[in-house]
Structures are given as C-alpha cells and as structure tokens.
C-alpha cells in the first residue's frame, strides 16, 4: 500500500491542499490531520505545511506548537518518524524545539514572494535521496519571518554535522549562513522556508520541488512495501 502522509492543518494553515495534491501525484496517500487530533493516525510521515497557524499571533508557530497534534508529532519525530515543515511549518518545528534556531523578520522588512535559487548542501536527511550536494534548485519563497537565526555555537554544530540542507544562492532575507533549510541531527526532521509544492509542475515554472517531496516519498517506500514512484509532471 502507498505510504500515508499526514498533512497537518491548524486554523490558518493554507497550503495543505497543495501539499496533499503533490504528495498524491508522487504516489503517496495524503490525509489532512486537524490540529486537534491527539495522534498522527497511523501516518508514515508528517508534513506541516505553510500558512499562518493560529494567525501567527505572538510569534509565528508559538501557539501552534501547543496544539494537541504537536504532542503526537513530537513523539513521532523522537521515534525517528519523518517530519517535514514547510515555511510556517518550519517556524512551528523550531518553536517546538524539534529543529535548532528560529525564524525572525526578514532583514529588509519586506514580505518576499519570489522564486529563489537554492544550493543543496546536506542530503543525509528525509528530503535528500533525489538531491545531490551542489545542485541548484529553483523554488519559490513566500514569507515575512524567514530570516534564520541561531547562536554561533549552534551554527558551528549544524555546519559540522551536515544539518544545513539548503542555502540561498543570493540571501534574500538576512538568514545566518544563508540557511534556507535545516535538519535535526538524525536527519528525520527537516524544516525549509521555500515551498516545494509550488515548484511541482511545469505550469508553475519549476519542477524542482518534485525532487524534494519525491525524496520524502522515497524514504517511506523503503519503510513499507516498495511503491513505484511517479517522476511527476
């Protein structure tokens, strides 16, 4: 059976259908997981998509991390389950302490909505199987609080341990180390500011996002029965 991916929806999430659509094109089964759920309902992976969970009040992700489903997601992640946070989902994962660092206001104080070039850095993680270090991906960003911040010690640690997943080629938001995506040390939790679901069809101008979400599906196919993975179009 195709792997089941739980796509978390908080009040204010707005990318869940796009993400679910692309995951299904890639051969997965996607199920929207409402934030009030107390379990991940048997999902093989979790995606926390973009949006404005709980209105982004107080700080982006600050309230969302206390939604009931996040207790289950944290437990799933600590058990090695694959968890991908996209944009607001990345902010939620840092607030929840599942990823290092934090996301701060863009250095130019502008909401950025544009395609960016991203260099693949580390591939020893759940979105790395179809990527190679050095490859440049073109994927859109869409955020106001996307400037990655962490302490000097954290930056040194995540650099040395290969946890930096993607860097901006031309840093658009003042992120420390031009970091656009990071993983936890085990590589099963990844957060990324760019939106791979919005770069998943030639009509959208880029299909590079297919290799990001396709990698996630690949690592699940290995966990369950082999699943033929459509290369997408």
Partner 1 sequence: MRFDVKVEVRPRAGIADPEGATVGKALRALGFEGVGDSTTVHVGKLIEFDLEAPDVPTARDRVDAMCHTLLTNPVIEDYSFEVIPADSGSGD
Q: Which of 67, 94, 178, 200 binds partner 1 (CB under 8 A)?
A: 94
Asked if residue 109 binds partner 1 (CB under 8 A), the reply is yes
Asked if residue 111 binds partner 1 (CB under 8 A), the reply is no
Binding mask 151-170 for partner 1 (x = CB under 8 A): x-------------------
- Beta strand residue intervals within the chain, DSSP E: 4-9, 29-34, 45-48, 83-86, 102-104, 112-120, 136-143, 147-149, 164-168, 179-183, 189-192
Residue 82 CB, nearest distance to partner 1 (Å)?
A: 24
* Catalytic residue annotation: 87, 195, 197
Q: Residue 12 gets which letter from DSSP? A: T
Residue nearer to partner 1 on the CB measure, 106 or 188: 106
CA-to-CA separations, 141 to 126, 145, 150, 156, 171, in angstroms, rounded: 20, 11, 20, 25, 12
Neighbours of 113 (CB within 10 A): 11
Asked if residue 68 binds partner 1 (CB under 8 A), the reply is no
Catalog residues that contact partner 1 under the rule CB under 8 A.
Answer: 58-59, 62-63, 66, 94-95, 101-102, 104-109, 147, 149-151, 174
């Amino acid at each position: 059976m195709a792997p089941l991916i739980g796509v978390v929806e908080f009040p204010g999430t707005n990318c869940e259908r796009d993400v679910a659509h692309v995951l299904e094109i890639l051969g997965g089964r996607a199920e929207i997981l409402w934030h009030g759920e107390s379990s991940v309902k048997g999902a093989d992976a979790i995606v926390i998509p973009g949006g404005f969970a709980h209105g982004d009040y107080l700080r982006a992700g600050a309230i969302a991390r206390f939604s009931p489903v996040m207790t289950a997601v944290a437990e799933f992640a600590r058990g090695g389950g694959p968890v991908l946070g996209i944009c607001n989902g990345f902010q939620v994962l840092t607030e929840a302490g599942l990823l290092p660092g934090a996301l701060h206001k863009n250095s130019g104080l502008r909401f950025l909505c544009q395609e960016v070039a991203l260099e693949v850095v580390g591939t020893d993680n759940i979105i790395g199987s179809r990527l190679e270090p050095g490859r440049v991906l073109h994927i859109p960003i869409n955020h106001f609080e996307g400037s990655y911040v962490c302490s000097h010690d954290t930056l040194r640690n995540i650099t040395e341990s290969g946890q930096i997943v993607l860097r901006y080629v031309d840093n658009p938001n003042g992120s420390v180390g031009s970091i656009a995506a990071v993983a936890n040390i085990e590589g099963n939790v990844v957060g990324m500011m760019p939106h791979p679901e919005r770069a998943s069809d030639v009509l959208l101008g880029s299909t590079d996002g297919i290799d990001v979400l396709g990698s996630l599906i690949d690592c699940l196919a290995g966990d369950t029965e082999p699943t033929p993975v459509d290369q997408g179009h």
